[in-house]
Amino acid sequence: KFASFVPTKYVLHKPVFEKLANDLAQETGGEVKIKIYASGALGKGPVEQYQRAARRIAEISYGLPGYTSSVFPKTLLIELPGVTQGHQDATRKLWKVMGSHLKSEFKKTVPLAVFVTPPAVLMMRDKPIRSLSDLKGLKIRASSKSAAAILTAYGATPVQMPATKVYTSMSTGVVDGALMGTGSLLIFKLIEPTKYVTMGLPEMPTTLFMVMNEQAYKELSDKNRKILDKLTGLDISLRAAQLEANFGDLGMKKFRALPGKQVIQLSAGEQAKFAKAAEAGVASILSEAEGKGVPARAVFNAMKN
């Protein structure tokens, strides 16, 4: 059983989830079958997805580590600004440190795919952001605690709300904008309330995972487990990341095509200012994590270099 909280029209459903199910059934001669329960049929919402696999409500689940950030302090370091250059690079970096650092975070599960969405952009309802100072005092929706810390470092006021509420909040001015991946333009219909998109900030992608219950993984025969290993891991992650990136690009393309919308690319000088501000935020996040006994700096450096 594969638990997915997203509907079947989701961009990864056919090319990744269904393809994996088909390939696995074919290569194991029908010995291992995956049935996908989409739209949260086995339990709603993204938050508990990891637990659904860990507790074997489903053998495989798809979700976001960011919803339970305390469980994945090391994995989520990939989302900090300045770690990655593009989704391919980010996904490779994740898998580079997977064995040495991250695997231990996936308790009671085996990560089948871990990858990222394209980096977050600033979507603003009526105030264009061309420089760091433009952000000062504006209310921006943040998706995680780290993102909130970075936004604070930029001088903005982070606001906490579920992704599904951003549309309404932006339409009506409860928040001035949101720092989210370009995929949200279409998924959460943010393409409508957003007037200005600012790109070129220090990269902050969003991580996604597909995990399998550890026990169920061990129960597979050696042969079948090898087949599963071959079908999952870095390659499937890269492919998923590419699909997410294509979807984000599609959102941006549609956005550009609409009248009255504007895409702002930060100048090199401003990018440097953002990067400098972000550095301070990153430093404080890292030292806070170190304070809690997470070897954050070591993982951060291992990812970066």
Binding site for other proteins (CB under 8 A): 1, 7, 9, 37, 39-45, 47-48, 51-52, 54-58, 66-71, 73, 107, 137, 139, 144-145, 148, 157-162, 164-165, 167-169, 171-174, 189, 192-193
Rounded to a whole number of angstroms, the minimum distance from the CB of residue 173 to other proteins is 7
Q: Which residue's CB is nearer to other proteins, number 41 or number 272?
A: 41
Q: Per-residue b/e over 249-268, b at no fewer than 16 CB within 10 Å?
A: eebbeebeeeeeeeebebee
Q: Which residue's CB is nearer to other proteins, number 1 or number 87?
A: 1
Residue 143 and residue 120: Cα distance in Å, rounded?
10
Report whether 61 contacts 3 (CB < 8 A). Answer: yes
Q: Would you call 17 helix, strand, or coil by DSSP? A: helix
Beta strands in 36-167 (DSSP E): 36-37, 60-63, 109-116, 120-124, 139-142, 157-160
Kindly tell me the burial class for residue 171, based on how many C-beta atoms sit within 10 Å of its own C-beta (0-12, 13-18, 19 or more): middle
Q: Which residue's CB is nearer to other proteins, number 92 or number 139?
A: 139
Rounded to a whole number of angstroms, the minimum distance from the CB of residue 297 to other proteins is 19
Rounded to a whole number of angstroms, the minimum distance from the CB of residue 92 to other proteins is 27
Rounded to a whole number of angstroms, the minimum distance from the CB of residue 83 to other proteins is 20
Q: Which residue's CB is nearer to other proteins, number 71 or number 234?
A: 71
Q: Which residue's CB is nearer to other proteins, number 79 or number 270?
A: 79
Rounded to a whole number of angstroms, the minimum distance from the CB of residue 138 to other proteins is 9
Tokens of 61: 């689940």
